[in-house]
Amino acid sequence: MHSELLIVESDRKTRDLVSAFLTYQGYSTTVLSEKDDIFDTISSKPHRVMIADLPTLLARTPDILSKAWETSPDLVVIAYDQPDVGRTLPHNDRLLFIPKPLNLDELESVVMRAREYQALQVNTGQPSTSEDFPHFLCSTIIGRSRQMLSLFEMLEKVAESTATVLVQGESGTGKELAARAIHQLSSRSSKNFVPVNCSAIPDELLESELFGHVKGAFTGAYANRLGRFEMADKGTLFLDEIGDMKANLQVKLLRVLQSKEFEPVGSPRSQKADVRIIAATNKNLEELVSTRDFREDLYYRLSVIPITIPALRERREDIPLLINHFLGRFNHDKRRLVKGFSRESLEILRNYNWPGNVRELENLVERMVTLKENGFITPDDLPDRYLPCKETPRSVPSAPVTRTAVDEDLPLEGICLNSAVDAFENRLILQALQRTGGNKKEAASLLNLKRTTLIEKLKKKNLQLDQ
Ligand SMILES: Nc1ncnc2c1ncn2[C@@H]1O[C@H](COP(=O)(O)OP(=O)(O)OP(=O)(O)O)[C@@H](O)[C@H]1O
Ligand SMILES: [Mg+2]
C-alpha cells in the first residue's frame, strides 16, 4: 500500500468500482459519500488524493477545497471533467480532471499524475524513497516495466561497488540518468558527478580536459588547469559517448584505469585518481572492437559491469507512465492546463516505434502541451508521423514497419508505404547523426543532402540527437 486515496462518490456502483480498481493497483482507499463529513476525515488523517464529483461536493461544502488544502497542502483533487467545472475554479496544479464516462485506464493515469505532482513537491524538499514512489528510482528515472524494475535493482546493486560501469543503449534511452542514479545511490554522492562528453570536445583538447594541464604545457596554457579527473576526486566521472574517443586517448585512459594514476599535460608528476568511472555510448562497442575502432583491452576494462538500457519500444508499458510524468511537468512549467491524452491518442503513441526513445517522447509531450494549452490531446493534435497509416486496406501494426519495410520483401498482408518510407528516412538520419557525433554538416554530407535540408527535415520530423 503506498497511498491514501479518498473517494467521495454518492453513486454506490461507481464508488465500489473505483475503490476496487485502485485497491487492486496497490493504493489504500477511503470511501465516503458527499453527505459524510469529508473535512473531518481529511483533518484526522492526511490524504494524498481525493477523487470527487466536485460540483456536487462544492454545492454542499463550498469551502471544502480551501479547508482541505490548508490541512493537506499537497492533496491533489481529481474531479470529473464536466462543462463549466474548470471555469469556476482557480488555475491550480493540485486540481486534475478525469473525463466522464469513467474509464479505468484514464483513472489510473490521472492518479499517477497526481502522484507525479507530489513527487515533484517532495523533490524540492526531502528526497523520496523508491518504496514511496514505486515507479521511480532516485525521483528521476521512471518505469514500471519488468525491464526497468530489474534495471532499478541493478543500479542499486552496482552503486554499492566502485567497479567501472559501461552503460549502453540507443539514443535517448536514459543512459545519463542511469549514470547519475548510480552516483546518487553510492557512498560517493556527496562528492562530484563530473560528466565529460567525449564527442563534443575537440580531440586536441580532450586530454587536457580530462587530465588538466600545467602552465606553459602548450601554446595558450597560461595557467594550471584542473582536469575532470581531479574534479571528480572521490566522486564519479561520467565518460559519455566513449565510442567516439580517439585511439591515442584510449591508450591514455587505459593506462589511468590500470595504474589509478594520471598526469596533467606537461607535468612530470603523476597524481592519484580516486575516481569511479561510468562510461556510456549509443554505439555498439563490441562492433567497434571488431573493426578495430575501439581498443579491446579498454573495452574489457570499462565493461566490468555492463548495463544496457532497453529501447522504449521494448517496454511499451512505460509509455503512458512517462507521458503522464512529462505532462505533469510541462503543465506545471508552462502554466498550462492540458488534461491528458485521449484514449485513442495514447493507444497510437503506445504502438509507435520511438526511434528517439524517451527523449523523443519528452519532446513530443512538450510540443503538445505548448500548442494545445488545455483540454485533452486527441489523435488530430498529433504530428502526422505518429499517426498510423490511413490508406492501408488492412491495419498494419506500426511497430514492425520500421524494421521490415526497408530490409525485407513486401509482407503478405501489405504495408503502409508512407510510414515505412518515413521510418526508413528517420532511421538513416539518426544513424548519420550518431555516426558523426551529432554534427549536422557531416551527417548531411553522408546523406547527400544540403545541411539546411537536413535541418529542415529534423525540425519537421521533430527528430533530434542530444549531444
Ligand atoms: N526512465 C526515464 N524516466 C524519466 N525521464 C527519462 C527516462 N529516460 C530518459 N528520460 C529523459 O529523457 C531524456 C534523455 O535521457 P538521457 O540524456 O539520460 O538519455 P541518453 O541515453 O544519455 O541519450 P543520448 O544517447 O542521446 O545521450 C532526458 O531528458 C531524461 O530526463
Ligand atoms: Mg547521453
For the CA of 148, the nearest atom of ligand 1: 1
**How high is the pLDDT of residue 406?**
47
Is pTM, for the whole model, over 0.95?
no
Domain 1-129 has what CATH class? alpha beta
Cβ contacts of residue 323 below 8 Å, gap of 6+?
109, 341, 346, 349, 361, 365
For the CA of 282, the nearest atom of ligand 1: 25
CATH code for residues 388-461:
1.10.10
Q: Is 208 in the pocket of ligand 1 (CB under 6 A)?
A: no
**How far, in Å, from the CA of 361 to the mean position of ligand 1?**
10
Ranges of residues in the chain whose predicted pLDDT is under 70? 1-3, 82-93, 116-134, 389-409, 411-414, 464-467
Cβ contacts of residue 12 below 8 Å, gap of 6+?
none
Q: Is 175 in the pocket of ligand 1 (CB under 6 A)?
A: yes
17-28 confidence digits (pLDDT tens): 888 888 877 788
How do the domains of the chain map onto residue ranges?
1-129, 141-310, 312-387, 388-461
344-385 confidence digits (pLDDT tens): 888 899 889 999 999 999 999 999 999 987 788 999 999 988
Torsion of CA 300, 298, 314, 462, to 10 degrees: 180
Q: Do domains 1-129 and 388-461 have the same CATH topology?
A: no
Strand order in the sheet with 276-281: 193-197, 236-240, 276-281, 165-168, 305-308
Q: What is the number of the ligand closest to the CA of 170?
A: 1
**How far, in Å, from the CA of 466 to the mean position of ligand 2?**
7
Q: How far apart are CA 450 and CA 447, in angstroms?
A: 9
| CATH architecture assignment, domain 141-310 | 3-Layer(aba) Sandwich (3.40)
Task: Cell numbers for 257, please give them.
Answer: 584505469
Q: Is 174 in the pocket of ligand 1 (CB under 6 A)?
A: yes
Q: Is 362 in the pocket of ligand 1 (CB under 6 A)?
A: yes
**How far, in Å, from the CA of 309 to the mean position of ligand 2?**
12
**How high is the pLDDT of residue 82?**
66
Domain 312-387 has what CATH class? mainly alpha
